[in-house]
Amino acid sequence: MRALDHVACMSVDKQISRFLNNVVPDVKDEPRVAVAVSGGGDSMALCFALAGALPDTEIHFITVDHGLRSEAAKEAVLVSEWLEGLGIHTTLKWTHEGVDRKIQEQARDARYRLISEYCDTHEINALFLGHNQDDLIETYLMRLSSGSGLDGLASIAPVSWHKDLMLLRPFYDVPHADLIAYCQENHVEWVEDPSNDSDKYKRVRFRKAQAFMEEEGLTQKRLAKTIERTARAKDALDQVAYSFLDQLIVAQDDETVSIDFIAFQNLHAEFKIRVLSFIIEQLVESAYPPRLEKLEGLAFDITRDAPFRKRTFSGCLFEARPGDNVFVISVEKGRVPTKNS
């Protein structure tokens, strides 16, 4: 067992180094970075491995107390003690009057909002997250069960953005078991959240179902490879769709994008959907992409024979002007334009 643990430790340290050198080399030049720390084995392994890989960087370790478990405040104190000497630890408190539905989703949204605000205040551009290969597979299976399209099935990207904050997941292809072995080998303590074993949560049920899937040949390794290939296909489609978007735009400013109506109608349905999604993302600040079913319906209505009726969707106003051969997408009145437009 000790030999296996040692191999896992080498894998974790090498993965951090490989990620920093090959995926996000500029992050090593950042004066400070942040790490989201739940106190679980995954995030604690990330804290210690990252501290070893970035000895000259100021690291802010951020724990969010969601106020959903009585033990959370005490656990946050323990995390602060465990991380003493590695960097700056802060506990952020989510204040609310109780949560009775979609608990995990609301807690996640609050976590990103609070941490994003902290990073903005402290001029931090990069946030490291402890998501691992197991998380990617669970997310893939959950989205598959809900009928997600290609983008959703690409699961969790190793690099993504939350507004202006870069989200980094160096352990995206490292199994959870390796991270626990790393903690054991390095005497890193961690806490176990009892909700991680509760069948009331869909994610946990999918996690437990993987034992059956393994018996049928649907191994973690095969699922991870499928996610990798799906993400590669998504990136290829995005690359082509962005080139189409550049050709389609005839005018734009911070709150409006006008595209060539006929050229848009001649696109393949998949690229129509992606172009519309890109424009919405460019114009309106939102935590989530537009719902695929609604986006598919919008793309169909724009290009069918019947005249298009002006409408709002996902914070934008859509209007066809066939006489001018333009289709206009603008920010809906009262909505906040994105900072990146």
- Indicate the helix (H) or strand (E) that contains 326: strand 326-331
- Is 234 a residue whose pLDDT tops 50? yes
Q: Among 222, 217, 267, which residue's Cα sits nearest to residue 241?
A: 267
Would you state the pLDDT for residue 133?
93
- Record the pTM: 0.81
Average pLDDT over residues 270-276: 97
- Strand ranges inside 231-341, DSSP E: 249-252, 256-260, 311-313, 316-321, 326-331
127-181 residue pLDDT tens = 999 999 999 999 999 899 888 899 989 878 899 988 889 999 999 999 999 999 9
Average pLDDT over residues 189-214: 79
Per-residue pLDDT band for 340 (boundaries 50, 70, 90) equals very low
33-48 residue pLDDT tens = 999 999 999 999 999 9
Would you state the pLDDT for residue 2?
36
* Contact assessment for residue 149 and residue 236, using Cβ atoms and an 8 Å cutoff: no
305-338 residue pLDDT tens = 788 999 999 999 999 999 999 999 999 987 767 6
Check residue 314 and give left, alpha or beta (phi > 0: left; psi -120 to 50: alpha): left
The amino acid at residue 286 is S
Cα(128)–Cα(226) distance, integer angstroms: 24
Question: Domain coordinates of the chain in residue numbers?
Answer: 2-226, 253-331
**Contact residues for 31 (Cβ-Cβ < 8 A; gap 6+):** 57, 58
- Is 282 a residue whose pLDDT tops 50? yes
Angle between the 269-283 and 220-248 helix axes, to the nearest 10 degrees? 80
Per-residue pLDDT band for 6 (boundaries 50, 70, 90) equals low
Average pLDDT over residues 26-38: 96
The chain-wide mean pLDDT, for the chain, equals 88
When comparing pLDDT for 284 and 70, which is higher?
A: 284
Cα(117)–Cα(124) distance, integer angstroms: 10
Size of the chain in residues:
341
Fold of 2-226: Rossmann fold (3.40.50)
Percent of the chain having pLDDT more than 70? 90
Cα(135)–Cα(203) distance, integer angstroms: 9
Tokens representing 140 are: 């893939």
Angle between the 41-53 and 2-18 helix axes, to the nearest 10 degrees? 60
- Is 183 a residue whose pLDDT tops 70? yes
In whole angstroms, what separates CA 66 from the centre of its chain? 19
Per-residue pLDDT band for 196 (boundaries 50, 70, 90) equals low
